[in-house]
Amino acid sequence: MAKYIGMRIIYLMITLFMIASVTFFLMKLLPGTPLTAADKLSDEQKQIVLEKYNLDDPIPVQYFQYMTGLAQGDLGVSFQFDNRAVTAVISERIGPSIQIGAQAMVIGTVLGIILGIVSAIYHNGALDTSSTIFAVLGQSIPGFIFAGLLQFFIGVKLGWLPVALWGSFAHTIMPTIALAIFPMAITARFMRTEMLEVLGSDFITTARAKGLSKSVVIFKHSLKNSLIPVVTVLGPLAVGLMTGTFVIETIFAVPGIGEQFVKSINTNDFPIIMGTTLLFSAAFVVMILVIDLLYSIIDPRIRLS
């Protein structure tokens, strides 16, 4: 186990290095510079700023300087936030993203598993049909459509919840619902498919022949064997939700990482773009490692090597 984890950490570092390198050069292909919109500055002032941030150096030199700082844990400073460290900007923004992402993940996963189990138990019935329709709609309709509908009906028409901005727990409810619909739908679909396959297995038939109750067959024998594909899907999805969904955060004016990432692209704030991308990438590859470890916990027959 220790050797396996050690090798995966080495692969993780190599992956992050490659992502950082590719992202850096792709970022340099963006049109303009951080000073494109700074019309009030003279050419001399712009040149001073470019020299201050080493933006007038050749791209290979900039790459070497950035990677050297990255190896030391330095993500650079933001261009649009008065020379503030990127780590400080991300630290301030990550809280709201994690909160609504975690809430959406928990709600979507739990309800999705319940819907999937119900659909499998009542296969081809009314509940199964309704759950399948919901799963298709939840995966087909973009989240910003649900967000707009929630804002209009619940926020504007009924006035039950704040339409946007950030403050109390009430401000997190509609963004959470809008984010939870997709993981709920995809979890329900995968859970239904796997449960139907497991319920038709020989060992389930044997368990029923032994006189085990329906609840024991479903929750003790079927559920555990159905969770592995669901965990595989939900791992990367959890990272996306918890590091911020760009459009949803922008619609609800949530001061999270997603909203900041969009602003950084519009202003060509290269260090923020790099820092956010690396944060997402690191969380993604770590989550993949966690998923592999969870496999052996969910099913002891699986061994890591």
Q: How far apart are CA 52 and CA 221, in angstroms?
A: 63
Give me the mean pLDDT over the 273-287 stretch.
Answer: 84
Nearest CA-CA partner of 152 in 170, 179, 174: 174
Pick the residue with more confidence: 43 or 106? 106
Contact status, residue 269 vs residue 79, Cβ threshold 8 Å: yes
Is the predicted pLDDT of residue 237 greater than 70, yes or no?
A: yes
Q: For residue 125, what is the DSSP state?
A: S
Count other C-beta atoms under 10 Å from residue 250's C-beta: 19
Is the predicted pLDDT of residue 115 greater than 80, yes or no?
A: yes
Annotate 255-281 with DSSP letters as a single string: -SHHHHHHHHHHHT-HHHHHHHHHHHH
CA 17 to chain centre: 20
pTM over cut 0.85: no
pLDDT at 222: 75
Is the predicted pLDDT of residue 139 greater than 60, yes or no?
A: yes
Q: How far apart are CA 293 and CA 229, in angstroms?
A: 14
Q: For residue 80, what is the DSSP state?
A: T
Q: For residue 219, what is the DSSP state?
A: I
Q: For the chain, state the CA radius of gyration.
A: 24
Boundaries of every domain in the chain:
90-270
Pick the residue with more confidence: 237 or 184? 184
Cβ partners under 8 Å of residue 134, min gap 6 = 115, 185, 188
Annotate 130-167 with DSSP letters as a single string: HHHHHHHHHHHS-HHHHHHHHIIIIIIIS--S-SS--S
Q: How far apart are CA 93 and CA 105, in angstroms?
A: 19
Q: pLDDT tens digits, residue range 141-183?
A: 888 888 889 999 998 998 899 888 888 889 999 999 998 888 8
Pick the residue with more confidence: 140 or 232? 140
pLDDT at 173: 92
Phi, psi (rounded to 5 degrees) for 77: -120, 150
Helix, strand, coil distribution of the chain in percent, nearest 5: 75, 0, 25
Q: Which residues of 66-97 are buried (b: 16+ CB within 10 A; e: fewer)?
A: beeebeeeebbbbbbbeeebbeebbeebbebb
Cβ partners under 8 Å of residue 245, min gap 6 = 101, 143, 179, 258
Tokens coding 123: 């296969």
Amino acid identity at 31:
P
90-270, what's its fold? MetI-like fold (1.10.3720)
